[in-house]
Structure formats: C-alpha cells, structure tokens
C-alpha cells in the first residue's frame, strides 16, 4: 500500500510569512497526526484527528497554527505568521485507530523541513 | 502528565556487537503501551517494537528486544548483532490506553554503528 505522502519536502520562508503543509494519509486510516520535530528533540504532537474531528490539539499554538482535515482524508497544517522558532520538521502520520494496539500502528510520512529566516 | 526520558543522547557500537538503549518514563496510568521508533538519516520514522504494559513477557522482534521493568518504569531496547543499517535516531514513546491517546516521545538517542 502507498505510504503517507507529504508536500512540500522543504520550505524556506522569512519570519512573518505564511506557509502551508499538506498530508495525504494511508487509505482507510481514520486517524491523522501532525507532529513538530525541532532539531535534537523528539516529535511533539500538535494535533490529532479522528476522521475529520479533532481528538487532541492541546499543544497546537492556536494563535498562529491551524489545521484542517476536510472529508476525513487529506489534511493541511498552516502557520500564519511564522516565527524563527517554528523552524522544524513537520511530520504527518496516520493509523487505523488512535490507540496503542498493533492495529493502531502509526505510519509516518517523510516530513516537511521548514526553515524560517 | 506523562514524560519519557532518554538519558543517552548518542551511542556507538561496533558492527556485530550488542548495544542497549535506555528509556525511563513517568506515569500514574496502569494500562499503556510503549514503543521504540527508528528514524534513519533522511528517512521516515518506523516502528521497531512495541510492548503492552499488561504483558510481563518482554517483546522481541528479530534482533531487537526490550527489557520492560514496569515497577521501575524502565523500557530499554537491546539490539543484537548490530548492522550498519541500524545507524539512526531511536525514540522511545508512550501511549496511555485510556482516553486521549496522545503519543509522548523521548528526545531520542543517536546510534552509530561502526564498521
């Protein structure tokens, strides 16, 4: 089966500009995750969708970050306006369910590396 | 709140030898899952091995095995017969099994396998 697709792979912007990332999960996966991975750190969950509803967005900086998952499939993550500290790799992952069982294994995309100058 | 700590930022091992990566976690939950993920250089993160907290038997996947000590809240990964392809960042992760399945990752351990 096709894996999780993300685009773009790389993006360089200046601070205060806007940027959007796109994710296409594995077909049939109900749960979609966006993670922020700052250099030298582990991934941090920004938002988790179950179908097109939000399960957890407690760590999403809502004053500048937004995400949507229309029709419960593809998702976009937007940053507006970007700050220097947003420089990171943004990972998208998907799973059948949202738990920790074998059936709920998360599959990760290649990530989008964002550099904010 | 749950936390995951990986105290070894970087490790190295000779090819064909065995290495153990450490992970400790903190939680008040009794029912949860623990994972080790591998992130090779410039490649996608993949699941290496998982452990259910209610199982006493340590999980094994080919050359990878864990030492799960629930009382000590310790979850180490042992890689036997290390191969050059094992060079990667390794992340320990935790999911509680009751409502709000948020994955918590550790900061990672960078493993170098030397020829």
Contact (Cβ atoms closer than 8 angstroms) between residue A96 and residue A103: yes
Q: Is residue A55 within 8 angstroms of chain B, CB to CB? A: yes
Interface mutation vs chain A, best among B45, B96, B99, most A CBs within 10 Å: B45
Asked if B107 lies within 8 A of A33 by C-beta distance, the reply is: no
Is the pLDDT reported for residue B42 higher than 90?
A: no
- Chain B positions touching A42 (Cβ under 8 A) are 4, 6, 91, 93, 105-108
pLDDT in tens, A11-36: 999 999 999 999 999 999 999 999 99
Average predicted confidence (pLDDT) for chain B: 93
Q: Is residue A40 within 8 angstroms of chain B, CB to CB? A: yes
Residues of chain A with pLDDT under 70: 1, 100, 102-103
Averaged pLDDT, B76-101: 90
- Between these two residues, B23 and B42, which has the higher pLDDT value? B23
Q: What are phi and psi of B84, to 5 degrees?
A: -55, -35
pLDDT in tens, B50-65: 999 988 899 999 999 9
- Between these two residues, B97 and B39, which has the higher pLDDT value? B39
Report percent pLDDT > 70 for chain B. 97
Q: Is residue A91 within 8 angstroms of chain B, CB to CB? A: yes
Per-residue pLDDT at B101:
74
- Chain A positions touching B103 (Cβ under 8 A) are 33, 43, 45, 106
Per-residue pLDDT at B14:
98
Going by the DSSP 8-state scheme, the letter that residue A98 receives in this structure is S
Is the pLDDT reported for residue B67 higher than 90?
A: yes
CA dist A51 and A74 (Å) reads: 10
Which pLDDT band, with edges at 50, 70 and 90, does B66 fall under? Answer: very high
In the Cβ-directed half-sphere of B92, how many Cα atoms lie within 13 Å?
29
Angle CA B44–B48–B53, to nearest 5: 130
Asked if A3 lies within 8 A of B44 by C-beta distance, the reply is: yes
Structure tokens at B90: 């390794």
SS (H, E, C) chain B: CCEEECCCCEEEEECCCCEEECCEEECCCCCEEEEEEEECCCCCCEEEEEEECCCCCCCEECCEEEEEECCCCEEEEEECCCCHHHCEEEEEEEEECCCCCCCEECCCEEEEEEC
Asked if B101 lies within 8 A of A99 by C-beta distance, the reply is: yes
Which pLDDT band, with edges at 50, 70 and 90, does B98 fall under? Answer: low
């Amino acid at each position: 089966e096709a894996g999780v697709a993300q685009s773009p792979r790389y993006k360089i912007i200046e601070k205060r500009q806007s940027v959007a990332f796109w994710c296409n999960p594995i077909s049939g996966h109900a749960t979609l995750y966006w993670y922020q991975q700052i250099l030298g750190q582990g991934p941090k969950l920004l938002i988790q969708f179950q179908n097109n509803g939000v399960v957890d967005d407690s760590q999403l900086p809502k004053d500048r970050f937004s995400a949507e998952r229309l029709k419960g499939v593809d998702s976009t993550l937007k940053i507006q306006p970007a700050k220097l500290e947003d420089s990171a790799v943004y990972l998208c992952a998907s799973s059948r369910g949202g738990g920790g069982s074998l059936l709920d294994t998360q599959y990760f995309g290649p990530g989008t590396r964002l550099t904010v100058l | 709140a749950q936390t995951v700590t990986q105290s070894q930022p970087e490790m190295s091992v000779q090819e064909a030898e065995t290495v153990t990566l450490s992970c400790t976690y903190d939680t008040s939950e009794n029912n949860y899952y623990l994972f080790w993920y591998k992130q090779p250089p410039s490649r996608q993160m993949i699941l290496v091995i998982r452990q259910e907290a209610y199982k006493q038997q340590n999980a094994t996947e080919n050359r990878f095995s864990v030492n799960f000590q629930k009382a000590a809240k310790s979850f180490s990964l042992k890689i036997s017969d290390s191969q050059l392809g094992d060079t990667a960042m390794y992340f320990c992760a935790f999911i509680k099994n009751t409502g709000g399945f948020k994955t918590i990752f550790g900061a990672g351990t960078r493993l170098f396998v030397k020829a």
